[in-house]
Each structure stands twice: as structure tokens, then as C-alpha cells.
Copies of this chain bind each other. A is one copy, B any other.
Amino acid sequence: MKTKITLKDIARELEVSISTVSKALKNSEEISRDTKEKIQAFAKLYNYKPNNIAISLKNKRTKNIGVVIPDIVHHFFTTVIRGIEKYANAKGYNVIVCLSEESFDKEVINMEMLANGSIDGFIMSLSSETQAKNDYNHLKEVTEQGIPLVLFDRVTNEVDCDKVIIDDELGGYMATKKLIDEGRKKIALITTDDYLSVSKARAEGYRKALLESNLSLDESKILKLSTMEVDEKSIRHFFNNQEVDAVLCVNEVFTVFSMRLLQEKGLNIPKDVSFIGFTNGLLSEFANPRLTVVAQHGEKMGEISAQMLIEKVESENEEETFQTKILEPTLVVRDSTIN
């Protein structure tokens, strides 16, 4: 086992001082060509690489980014991570991923763990429990300590920091508008309880589009599920009691499940009923029929988040100026709507 070599080891072997070695490896002008060559050759031979931890301690910079997300078995969040990774890696940063699993406590614990020197900044999306509790002290503490924070997708106005979101209201609006333009009159919305910021915004867009088109806003056509799991019973019950000619769902799973339900009832999609979902994932692409969806551009979101964070991390000035970037969603039209 050839263990890692340190500056000290090189110094001892070559009978020079540690600082000489350090300078030589940085190609300092102070050191003579001869000794530089000797030291560099030796270092190369023994594959010397500076120890990241020591450098972190010295520089008070870890070159690590903490990413805290509610769920990783989830298409949207993984695309965001991919975007973060891409940008961060290019800038020499590593990404420490922590999962809150939608739990407030885990979110707090994870952040505290990372905040003690492990990372230079946070990129995160709030857990549903945190949004429900509306308690953001753990975020505030972090920012008060001067640790940069970027919130994405599931954000809150309660915390002053950089944010990256998509215009979910616009997404809801665009989708609903599309259904209206198809001539649909009885447009249902399947969503989650309002505590989830994104669901709320999407519902807002839905309402706006309906009102704008002078379609009545029928609250009984809105189904609010308490979690993001597919609640089969509620959905069945809903469709047994509602006549609809179009459905907007706040995620892929609700969409595909509902669609199948109506298909089993003998309805044709999109002839009898049109469907639009949120998230442009595998399900949308491979469902039958393929789904028309509002795409969220997660990878872009990740890249922008990372960019904003690293800028803050590396900027010297202390001026507290935060911005919120709003990305526009895109309607990807496929076969669950009429073209």
C-alpha cells in the first residue's frame, strides 16, 4: 500500500525545508531552477497531490456545495442535480447531496451538519413539511452566518436569499389556455394542498385562464390531494362524480394515473378528454398516449442555481443584494391533447 505523500515527506527525502518544497511545486521564482526541477520530478514520481482538507482549513474554503432536496427518486430533482453538478464541477466544486425526504427535521439536521464548515454554500428546495410548518429559522441562521444560500423551485418569501423558480402560474395558465383553445369547457384540476408553493401557483394560473376566458370557475372541478402519492380512492371518487372534458394535473404521476382511469371507463384520450401534466419526464414520453406537459427545465435551473451560488461564494463584497430568477416553462405538445 503506497500511502499518500506529503510536503513533509518530500522535504525529508530531499533534505530541504517544507516551505522550499511548497514554493517549488508552485513554480515560485524564489527557488532555483535546479531545486525546482529536482523537487518537481520527485513529486511527480511519487504522485504528490495536495491534501484538500488541509487546503480547506487554510483557505476557509471547502470547494464543496451542499445540495438539500426533498426527494431524489424524482425526475425533476435529478435533472436539477445534473445541472448543478455540471456547472459546479466545471468550477472545481464538489456537490454534497442531502435528502430531507420531505421531512422538516431531516432538513434541519442536514443543514446543521453541513453548515459547520463542510460547505461554502447551500442550494436547496424546501421539504413539503417545511412549507407546511412555515418555519424557516434554520435557513435564516445559515444566512445570518454569512453562508450563501440559493433556493430553487420550492421557495419562500420569508427568507432573504437568491432564488430560482419557474413561473408556475404561467405554466398553469399556458396549459389551461391550451385546453380552452381546444374548445374544452369542463376542465378539471388535480393538485395537492396549497402548502406546496408550486401547486398553489399552478392552480392560480389555472384560475386565471378560466376567468379570463369567461369560463365559470367550478371549485368542484378541483381535486386537492393531501400528498404527492397517488391517492387512488380519491381520484376514482372524483371522476365518478365529475364530468370533464379536460384535466390538468400538477405532476406526471397524477396525469398518467387519471388518464388510465378514464381509459378504463372507455373514454378516448384525447378525443373525449384532453390531458396536460407538469414535468417532462420519462412517463410523459412513454405514456400511452404520450403526454402533453409543461416542461420545467430542471437542468437549466440547476445550472443557474449553481452559477448564482458560486458567484456569491467567490465574491468578496458583503453587499446584500439578492435576486430571483424566473424561468419560463415550456408547453411540450404531444398526444394527450388535440393538435
Give the CA-CA distance A64 to B97 in the complex, in Å: 11
Q: Give every chain B residue within 8 A of A282 (Cβ-Cβ).
A: 75, 252-253, 281-283
Q: Are A78 and B74 in contact (CB under 8 A)?
A: yes
Q: Does A45 contact B (CB under 8 A)?
A: no
A118: B residues at CB distance < 8 A: 52-53, 64, 94
With A49-B116, A51-B116, A53-B57: A73-B62 Cβ-Cβ less than 8 Å: no
**In the complex, which residues of chain B have a beta carbon less than 8 angstroms from the beta carbon of A263?**
288
Determine if B94 and A286 form an interchain contact, defined as CB atoms under 8 angstroms apart. Answer: no
- Neighbouring B residues of A89 by C-beta, 8 Å: 98, 110
Give the number of times this chain occurs in the complex, counting copies.
Answer: 2
Of A1-9, A19-27, A151-159, A219-227, the segment with at least 4 beta carbons within 8 Å of chain B is A1-9
**Structural contact, A85 and B99, CB atoms closer than 8 A:** yes
A114 contacts B by Cβ under 8 Å = yes
A208 within 8 A of B: no
Give complex CA distance A56, B56 in Å: 10
**In the assembly, what is the distance between CA of A89 and CA of B116, in Å?**
16
Taken together as a complex, chains A and B put the C-alpha atoms of A3 and B116 apart, in Å, by: 11
Considering only residues 250-274 of chain A, those with a C-beta below 8 Å from chain B are 252-253, 256-257, 260, 263
Question: Closest CB-CB distance, A139 to chain B, in whole Å?
Answer: 15
CA A79 to CA B52, docked complex, whole Å: 29
Per-residue contact bits, chain A 53-78, to B (CB 8 Å; 1 contact, 0 not): 11011000010100000001111001
Contact: B57 with A82, CB < 8 Å?
Answer: no
Judge if A175 is at the interface, Cβ distance under 8 Å. no
For A145, the chain B residues whose CB sits under 8 A away are 1-4
Is A81 in the interface zone, CB < 8 Å from B? yes
A62 proximity list for chain B (CB < 8 A): 53
Given the interface contacts A53-B118, A282-B253, A283-B286, does A94 sit within 8 Å of B96 by beta carbon? yes
| A288, chain B: closest CB distance, angstroms | 5
- Least CB distance, A254 to chain B, in whole angstroms: 10
Q: How far is the CB of A119 from chain B (nearest CB, A)?
A: 9
B64 touches A96 (CB 8 A): yes
> Of B54, B116, B144, which contacts A2 at CB under 8 A?
B144
Query: Min CB distance, A28 to chain B, in Å?
Result: 21
Contact A78 B72 (CB under 8 A): yes
User: Of the candidates B53, B78, B252, which one forms a contact with A56 in the assembled complex, judged by CB atoms under 8 Å apart?
Assistant: B53
Sample of 17 more A-B contacts, CB < 8 Å, known A1-B318, A51-B117, A95-B96? A2-B144, A3-B146, A4-B145, A49-B112, A52-B118, A53-B117, A53-B118, A64-B118, A75-B282, A85-B97, A85-B99, A95-B98, A253-B282, A256-B286, A260-B286, A282-B283, A288-B288
17 A–B contacts from the bound complex (CB under 8 Å): A1-B146, A1-B318, A3-B146, A51-B117, A53-B118, A54-B57, A64-B118, A72-B85, A75-B282, A78-B78, A89-B98, A94-B118, A95-B97, A252-B282, A260-B288, A283-B286, A288-B288
